[in-house]
Structure 1
Amino acid sequence: MKKTILRALVPATFALTLAGCGGGAEAPAENAANEHASEEGHAEEGVVTLTQQQITEAGIEVVRPTIGGVAGAIEVSATIEGDPQGVQVASAAIAGRLVSLTRNLGQPVGRGDVLAVIESREAASLKGEIEAARARAALAQSNLRREQRLFAERVSPEQDLIAARTAATEANIALRLAQQQLAATGGGGGALNRVTVRSPISGQVIARSATLGQTVAADAELFRIANLSKVSVAMSLLPADAGRVQPGAQVEVAGPGRRQAARVTFVSPVLDETTRLVPVIATLDNGGNTWRVGETVNASIIVPAGGDRTVAVPSAAVQMIEDKPHVFVRTATGFKAVPVTLGRRNGGQVVVTAGLNGGERIASTNSFTLKAELGKGEAEHED
């Protein structure tokens, strides 16, 4: 009986022993797998996995760094001014009292439009001279016709005909002179003692120093008219920088929410007496009234490259990760964040002194989405 019980226990004990051995063999295998997964996760730090379709949908543009021939940029503060060729003054040609003002600040005007009316004794005198000269010219013409008739009838000598013809010519000259003098003042219409001030160009009123009823002197400025379809960007450069700038150089003008290209049109050959800097002017198209005269903007003057092998990337391609600059380099499965060392900025580009060799393909536009995706993946890994 005892032998029978022993025979039944031996297989059960042997099975338990095998089970215990089997459980011990599986634990090391699981631990090895976990360690391998941990190593893989560590190797994938800084990597964002994306398909080509995902890259396209995210609007990420992939470009190559610029190698050599990197143009420099001189960045300065500038002021928007009216184009010197498109700003003119409307002034009073004679002294008098302002009895009418037809335009205010900001209003558009056309060439020849009436801006103001001046009441003046001098205008009355000029118009009186025109009337007198016109009467003398009419009398001289009448005498000439009479002498021509008498000479034809052989009643009057030729000498009287010549004298009458000369008097008529002189009277016409005097009349034209009086009319030109009045026209020079802006007169020619309206009341006898009034002259008009007209706009010299088409544009917009940007300054008005006239007040209704005011007595103004001759040559006093009343209005300032500007054609603002083009404006000027006024800059001041150090002499060393000005020597690198030539007319025709491109200028990137930036203001709040605006950016536009301009061209250098003037580099002064002399220094400003007060600042000891070189005045530089660029012309900027303003057909959409984007820029306002008097506002301060940032200007980057693009200057020729030095011909070196400098590596540069777009400023938008650089992202700060853990307070260090990184660039996302394209890989077979997505992008990898590569730490870089930055140098000077050249307009919209920044020089990379270490971290890239120039042969990579990098994310430029919307690279910040890769930074966000990378941060999301690291947070999930920590969890």
Structure 2
Amino acid sequence: MTVIERANTAIRIQDGRSKLMAGGAALALLAGLGGVLIGRSTAPVPLAASTEAPVAQSDEGQKSGPEGFIAITPAQIAANGIAVERVSSGSIASEVIAQATITAPPEGQALVTARADGAITRINKRLGDPVASGETIALLESREAAAFVAERNAAAARAQAARAAAAREQRLFDAKVTAKQDLEAAVAARQTAEAELQRADSAVRIAGVTGNGRYLAVRSPIVGRITEVDTQLGAYVAAGAELFNVANPDRIQVQAAVPVPEAQRLQPGDSAVVELPGGGIVEARLRSITPSADPQSRAVAVVLQLAGAPGGLRQGQAVRVRITPRNSKTSGIILPEDSVQLIEGRDAVFVQVKGGFQAVPVQIGQRSGGRVEILKGLEAGQIIVSRGAFALKSQLGASEAEH
């Protein structure tokens, strides 16, 4: 073999080794990539944190986008002090706004007095204690108790004697010994004596005589709690003296003072709203209007009946009421001024939707007395945030800045 032929053969062998090495490297690369792909396909994929607010759905079933939506749970609503109310049509010029007081209706309070002269020997209840109807609050040691018992005993003796006389006259008349008029007189005397006994017995029960005619029981006429104690143990009181005040906390009404010009627009049956001290509202109905004004305040007393018995209201508490006359014209929706917030340069109200609240742009009208008129953007029956809207606005701004 010549030198040239040996050189060519060496070149061919070298080319074959290079191709084999390239092929092996390619196979190794493919195997590595396959392992990586297989490893990636079998390894768990971590969930990425979503930056979009969940899609809310309103009561009408329409979906609102994430912009302006705040997801919040009922527990968070209560914890943040957010109050909501259902809006209705009205006019800010027609609303009658007045200060009012939570009072007790006639059947919800009672004044317990002494029925006779005497000394307080026992007090069974303290201030704030619950009492039942007819329950004894205190005992009054009085000579009147002995007089009641003595009168009843005397009446019982007279009734017994009249019964015996009537029975004897009946036997004599049956034996044809006496005349019929004698029997009739005896029967009339018996009936009179029995009526006197019944009267004396009722007087003893009403007076609450106990302890063998020594004490008079001071009882509560209604169910409620002791709200005032005007006596003490051992005190000598006169008949008619005020001893205790009892009120039923579940029986309440609202009494408002309305100026005479405004009161002339009102009539029983008008709808009203009572603004609760802790936020929120409760619906009411105008029950009655006094025919004359108070000589000092120059205002007319208006009584409102609450729809239900909301918790937290106490007799004597001050509230504010809004009364809407039935003949008033409706030009929009009236809301608390704090419920309208400026969001991105536009007035907006937070409307309750499924899962949270949605900021809805609105067009406002007049403002008066902490109230604002909504001309466009809301419909009657929707539930809006009446208190705590600024907190939702702050949360909405923080969420958009984070996103």
Q: TM-score, normalised by structure 2?
A: 0.64
Cα distance in 2 for partners of 1:151, 1:130 equals: 31
Cα distance in 2 for partners of 1:172, 1:269 equals: 49
Question: AA paired with 2:287?
Answer: T
Cα distance in 2 for partners of 1:364, 1:194 equals: 61
Cα distance in 2 for partners of 1:376, 1:88 equals: 56
Equivalent positions of 1:324-363 (< 5 A) are 326-328=346-348, 343-345=366-368, 350-351=372-373, 358=376
Please point out which of 276, 279, 291 is paired with 2:298.
276
Shift of 1:210: 2.8
Cα distance in 2 for partners of 1:337, 1:152 equals: 98
Task: Give 3-state SS (helix, strand or coil) of 1:237's partner.
Answer: strand
Report the counterpart of residue 46 of structure 1 in structure 2.
none
Q: Which runs of 5+ in 2 are unaligned?
A: 1-51, 56-63, 73-86, 351-357
Cα distance in 1 for partners of 2:349, 2:201 equals: 79
Q: Which runs of 5+ in 1 are unaligned?
A: 1-48, 61-65
Cα distance in 2 for partners of 1:360, 1:168 equals: 80
Cα distance in 1 for partners of 2:359, 2:252 equals: 45
Distance 1:93 1:102, change over 3 A: same
**Deviation sequence 1:156-192 (CA, Å, 0-9, x none):** 55554444334323322332232233344333x4321
Task: Give 3-state SS (helix, strand or coil) of 2:66's partner.
Answer: helix
Shift of 1:272: 0.5
Shift of 1:277: 0.9
Q: Is 1:238 the equivalent of 2:259?
A: yes
Please point out which of 243, 265, 276 is paired with 1:222.
243
Q: Is the contact between residue 230 and residue 285 of structure 1 (CA under 8 Å) also seen in structure 2? A: no
Cα distance in 1 for partners of 2:378, 2:279 equals: 32
Q: Is 1:259 the equivalent of 2:271?
A: no
Please point out which of 221, 235, 239 is paired with 1:200.
221
Q: TM-score, normalised by structure 1?
A: 0.67
Task: Give 3-state SS (helix, strand or coil) of 1:207's partner.
Answer: strand
Shift of 1:236: 0.8
Q: Is 1:70 the equivalent of 2:91?
A: yes
**Deviation sequence 1:103-151 (CA, Å, 0-9, x none):** 2222222222222222211221121121112112212222332333344
Distance 1:315 1:124, change over 3 A: same
Cα distance in 2 for partners of 1:157, 1:310 equals: 91
Report the counterpart of residue 54 of structure 1 in structure 2.
66
Report the counterpart of residue 148 of structure 2 in structure 1.
126
Q: Is the contact between residue 362 and residue 377 of structure 2 (CA under 8 Å) also seen in structure 1? A: no
Shift of 1:266: 1.6
Question: AA paired with 1:211?
Answer: Q
Work out the percentage of aligned pairs sharing the same amino acid. Answer: 30
Distance 1:367 1:59, change over 3 A: farther
Distance 1:319 1:166, change over 3 A: closer
**Deviation sequence 1:219-261 (CA, Å, 0-9, x none):** 2222222222231212111111112222222122220245322
Distance 1:162 1:211, change over 3 A: same
Cα distance in 1 for partners of 2:349, 2:198 equals: 81
Shift of 1:276: 0.9
Question: AA paired with 2:261?
Answer: A
Question: AA paired with 2:323?
Answer: I
Shift of 1:98: 1.9
**Deviation sequence 1:277-297 (CA, Å, 0-9, x none):** 111121236746421111222
Q: Is 1:297 the equivalent of 2:319?
A: yes
Cα distance in 2 for partners of 1:247, 1:306 equals: 14
Report the counterpart of residue 7 of structure 2 in structure 1.
none
Report the counterpart of residue 130 of structure 2 in structure 1.
108
Cα distance in 2 for partners of 1:329, 1:192 equals: 71
Question: AA paired with 1:214?
Answer: A
**Deviation sequence 1:192-216 (CA, Å, 0-9, x none):** 1322222212222222223222222
Distance 1:241 1:127, change over 3 A: same
Report the counterpart of residue 29 of structure 2 in structure 1.
none
Distance 1:220 1:141, change over 3 A: same
Q: Is the contact between residue 229 and residue 285 of structure 1 (CA under 8 Å) also seen in structure 2? A: no
Report the counterpart of residue 97 of structure 1 in structure 2.
119
Please point out which of 169, 181, 184 is paired with 1:147.
169
Question: AA paired with 2:139?
Answer: V
Task: Give 3-state SS (helix, strand or coil) of 1:269's partner.
Answer: strand
Cα distance in 1 for partners of 2:402, 2:262 equals: 48
Task: Give 3-state SS (helix, strand or coil) of 1:229's partner.
Answer: coil
Distance 1:129 1:230, change over 3 A: closer
The farther-off stretch of 192-201 and 175-184 is: 175-184
